[in-house]
């Protein structure tokens, strides 16, 4: 017999497929003790009534909570690319080009945390709290070189109830002599040990499931020898873990690989066995349609980080082409290459970047054809509903998670968003001049939140059925 943990009656907003927004009102959502959605049904239906009755007679009884009409439930966001230690230097030094910035800020931050577990713990606790407050329910994170520091990160995430895919960095080449692993062999055995120890982290009494998983993480081609990359490819195959790295991110980085390896990033990863269906590559800004098709064929996903691209990539990612080629794409904050931890900001930047890209392609077409009707390229803009899909389901698909949507069988990973107060005043930055007691959430209201909303609209967050965030009101 199913025992219930939570019963809610709410409006559900979600994106079942790219570009499709679904709003369903007055739904009963029943969550079992293990944190899975067991049923979603209209609140007056036979199924709903029978569940409410069963839950009220279980011991202790669970009563149904009805959310106010100005609130909705949305799947949590997935941050598909973030550097946890760089949170220390969020919003600093962004005037530098990539290779210089890494040397002067990123490596330094990582080295400081590896030398100071107490500092690492403070940074990671705060990071986890910020992510939950921003509605991020799962994160694919780069850590540091040292296993112990990454275990602190994984333990913090498990304790806080956040889904964390944690990567111990592998790098046996470095521009910073004090921040590098001794050899390919040493790096490989450390990576193997991290996988084992991460899998031994206790689940903890508050959680019904393991939420943290180890990820093989070659930093990027410039910092990894061929021997290391080949070894990591074998490790991935043997252990069945996810892989993350950076691919074709910036002009100086692409040139570096061409000059030192006489190869392209995508070929180096491919021949090392690191382009798999469990691979997530950040950026890919220098990939064109043929290589995007290659990414799709390999099953590898892409973490699109538009704000970071604006600083470090010198050109926008070909997002529409990637989606048309069938590549799995999610959004990343790229903290601290991107200074905003909030995936809402990544959604907005993805849309505005795609629109500017579309405009410049159109202008180039018109100039080439020398007439206004010369615009012949396909529309590469994406719209907000597509961005919402990427931020939720897209990222979940990339990680093989069943989150990012709310349906029977999926884990209850959800955020409660409040648009209006009980008195029908807009919450936070939102104003609804026509809201009255008949206020019903529709597409216009959700779009307004997508454009203007912030943390003030986020009332609660649940992950695997556990309430992990509750705003003070
Ligand atoms: C291009 O696509 C965007 C997003 O779907 C849409 O809003 C816009 O109207 C389209 N532009 C043109 C010129 O069709
Ligand atoms: Zn990155």
Residue 392 vs residue 377, higher pLDDT: 392
Confidence check: pLDDT of 373 > 70: no
Give the CA distances from residue 430 to residues 67, 90, 102, 412, 420, in Å, rounded to whole numbers and listed in that order. Answer: 19, 27, 38, 27, 8
Query: 101-115, 161-175, 455-469: which has the minimum mean pLDDT?
Result: 101-115
Ligand nearest to the CA of residue 80, numbered in listed order: 2
pLDDT class for 375, splitting at 50, 70, 90? Answer: low
Residue with tokens 């790098």: 171
Tokens of 337: 């290459």
Token pair for 133: 């407050």
Q: What is the mean pLDDT of the chain?
A: 95
8 Å CB contact between 74 and 14: yes
Which residues have C-beta within 8 Å of that of residue 446, sequence separation ≥ 6? Answer: 13, 21, 23, 72
Atom of ligand 1 lying closest to residue 19 CA:
5
Q: What is the DSSP letter of 261?
A: H
Task: Place 20 in a pLDDT band, splitting at 50, 70 and 90.
Answer: very high
Q: What is the pLDDT of residue 203?
A: 97
* DSSP string covering 12-44: EEE-SSTT--EEEEEEEEEEETTSBEEEEEETT
The length of the chain is 473
* 8 Å CB contact between 164 and 154: yes
- Could you report the per-residue pLDDT of 306-361, keeping only the tens digit for each? 999 999 998 999 999 999 999 999 999 999 999 999 999 999 999 999 999 999 99
Given a cut of 90, whether residue 100 has pLDDT beyond it is: no
Evaluate the CA torsion angle 95, 96, 102, 104 in order and state its sign: negative
Task: Indicate which ligand has the atom closest to the C-alpha of 375.
Answer: 1
Please tell me the distance between residue 334's alpha carbon and the centre of ligand 2 in angstroms.
5
Which residue ranges make up each domain of the chain? 4-75+404-470, 77-356+379-399
Phi, psi of 412 (to 5 degrees): -80, 85
Point out the ligand 1 atom lying closest to the alpha carbon of residue 383: 4
The residue among 283, 272, 173 whose CA lies nearest residue 216 is 272
- Tokens describing residue 162: 């956040």
Q: So what CATH class is 77-356+379-399? A: alpha beta
- For residues 463 and 137, the answer to whether their CB atoms sit within 8 Å is yes
For 49, list phi and psi in degrees, rounded to 5: -60, -40
Report the nearest-CA residue for atom 9 of ligand 1. 381
pLDDT at 239: 98
CA of 312 to the centre of ligand 2 (A): 10
Which residue's CA is minimally distant from atom 11 of ligand 1? Answer: 379
CA of 337 to the centre of ligand 2 (A): 7
What is the tens place of the pLDDT at every residue in 121-152? Answer: 999 999 999 999 999 999 999 999 999 999 99
pLDDT at 374: 58
Distance of alpha carbon 38 from alpha carbon 62, whole angstroms: 15
Residue with tokens 């806080």: 160
pLDDT value at residue 101: 86
Ligand 1 center to 393 CA (angstroms): 22
Q: Whose CA is nearest to atom 14 of ligand 1?
A: 379
pLDDT digits (tens, 9 = 90+) for 190-212: 999 999 999 999 999 999 999 99
For residue 76, is pLDDT > 90? Answer: yes
- Of 270 and 92, the one with more pLDDT: 270
Nearest CA to ligand 1 atom 8: 381
Ligand 1 pocket test target in 379, 382, 385 with most atoms within 8 Å of CB: 379
Mean pLDDT over 34-38 rounds to: 98
Q: Which of 327, 328, 325, 332 is nearest to 347 (CA)?
A: 332
Q: Give the distance (Å) from ligand 1 centre to CA of residue 340.
A: 27
Residue burial 427-436, b: 16+ Cβ < 10 Å; e: rest:
beebebeebe
Q: What is the mean pLDDT of residues 448-470?
A: 98
CA distances from 9 to 28, 30, 39, 68, 120 (A): 4, 9, 12, 9, 40
Which ligand does the CA of 361 lie closest to? Answer: 1
Q: Indicate if the pLDDT at residue 377 is higher than 80.
A: no
Ligand 1 pocket by Cβ (under 6 Å): 379, 381, 383
In angstroms, what is the span from residue 381 Cα to ligand 1's centroid? 6
- Give the pLDDT score at 464: 98
Q: Which residue has the tokens 């219930």?
A: 4
Q: Which helix (H) or strand (E) holds 441?
A: none
Mean pLDDT of 459-469: 98
Task: Pick left, alpha or beta for residue 23 (phi over 0 → left; psi -120 to 50 → alpha; otherwise beta).
Answer: beta
Q: What is the pLDDT of residue 348?
A: 98
Q: Is the pLDDT of residue 372 over 70?
A: no
Q: Quick one: which of 163, 80, 66 has its CA closest to 395?
A: 80
Which two structure tokens, joined as six digits, stand for 339? 């200074």
Calculate mean pLDDT across residues 160-167: 98
Q: Cα(first)–Cα(last) distance of the chain, in Å?
A: 37
- 437 — pLDDT class (breaks 50, 70, 90): confident
Protein residue closest via CA to atom 12 of ligand 1: 379
Of the candidate ranges 16-20, 47-51, 372-376, 441-445, the one whose mean pLDDT is the lowest: 372-376
Please state, in angstroms and rounded to a whole number, the distance separating the CA atoms of residues 260 and 224. Answer: 12
Three-state DSSP state, 244: strand
Mean pLDDT over residues 449-456, rounded? 98
Q: What does the buried/exposed string (b/e) look like for 324-336 if buried means 16 or more CB atoms within 10 Å of the residue's CB? A: ebebbbbbbbbbb
Banded model confidence at residue 58, pLDDT cuts 50, 70, 90: very high
Neighbours of 359 (CB within 10 A): 12
* CATH superfamily, domain at 4-75+404-470: Urease, subunit C, domain 1 (2.30.40.10)
CA 123, distance to chain mean position in Å, is: 19
Share of the chain above pLDDT 90, in %: 89
Q: Please give the residue that has the higher pLDDT: either 93 or 282.
A: 282
Mean pLDDT across the stretch 298-304? 98
Tokens standing for residue 144: 């540091």
> Ligand 1 center to residue 85 CA distance, Å?
39
- Comparing 73-77, 194-198, 293-297, 309-313, which segment has the lowest mean pLDDT? 309-313
- Report whether pLDDT(448) > 90: yes
Q: pLDDT at position 340, please?
A: 97
Residue ranges of E strands in 15-128:
22-32, 37-42, 64-66, 71-75, 77-83
Residues 80, 78: Cα–Cα separation, whole Å: 6
């Amino acid at each position: 017999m199913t025992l219930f943990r939570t019963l809610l009656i709410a409006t559900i907003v979600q994106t079942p497929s790219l570009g499709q927004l679904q709003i369903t009102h007055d739904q009963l959502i029943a969550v079992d003790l293990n944190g899975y959605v067991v049923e979603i049904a209209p609140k007056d239906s036979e199924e709903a009534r029978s569940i409410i009755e069963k839950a009220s007679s279980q011991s202790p009884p669970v009563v149904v909570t009805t959310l106010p009409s100005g609130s909705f439930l949305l799947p949590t966001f997935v941050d598909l690319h973030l550097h946890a230690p760089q949170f220390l230097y969020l919003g600093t030094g962004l005037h530098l080009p990539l290779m210089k910035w890494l040397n002067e800020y990123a490596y330094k931050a990582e080295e400081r945390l590896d030398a100071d577990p107490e500092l690492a713990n403070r940074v990671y606790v705060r990071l986890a709290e910020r992510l939950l407050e921003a509605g991020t329910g799962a994160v694919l994170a780069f850590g540091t070189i040292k296993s112990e520091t990454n275990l602190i990160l994984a333990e913090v995430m498990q304790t806080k109830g956040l889904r964390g895919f944690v990567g111990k960095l592998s790098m046996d080449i470095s521009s910073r002599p004090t921040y590098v692993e001794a050899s390919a062999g040493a790096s490989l055995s450390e990576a193997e040990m991290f996988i084992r120890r991460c899998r031994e982290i206790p689940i903890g009494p508050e959680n019904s499931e393991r939420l943290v998983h180890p990820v093989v993480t070659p930093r990027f081609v410039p910092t990894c020898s061929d021997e290391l990359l080949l070894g990591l490819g074998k490790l991935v195959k043997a252990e069945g873990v996810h892989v993350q790295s950076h691919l074709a991110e910036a002009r100086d980085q692409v040139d570096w690989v061409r000059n030192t390896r006489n190869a392209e990033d995508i070929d180096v990863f491919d021949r090392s066995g690191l382009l798999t269906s469990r691979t997530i590559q950040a950026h890919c800004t220098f990939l064109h349609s043929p290589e995007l098709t290659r990414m799709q064929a390999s099953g590898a996903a892409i973490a699109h980080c538009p704000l970071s691209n604006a600083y470090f990539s010198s050109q926008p990612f070909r997002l529409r082409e990637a989606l048309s080629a069938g590549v799995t794409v999610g959004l990343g904050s790229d903290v601290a290459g991107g200074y905003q931890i909030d995936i809402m900001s990544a959604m907005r930047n993805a849309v505005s970047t795609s629109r500017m890209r579309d405009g410049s392609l159109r202008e180039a077409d018109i100039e080439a054809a020398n007439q206004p009707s010369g615009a012949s390229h396909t529309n590469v803009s994406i719209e907000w509903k597509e961005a919402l899909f990427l931020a939720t389901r897209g990222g979940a698909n990339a990680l093989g998670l069943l989150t990012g949507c709310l349906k029977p069988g999926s884990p209850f990973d959800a955020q409660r968003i409040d648009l209006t107060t009980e008195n029908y005043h807009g919450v936070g930055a939102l104003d609804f001049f026509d809201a009255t007691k008949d206020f019903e959430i529709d597409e216009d209201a959700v779009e307004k939140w997508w454009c203007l909303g912030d943390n003030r609209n986020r009332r609660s967050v649940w992950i695997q059925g556990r309430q992990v965030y509750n705003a003070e009101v």
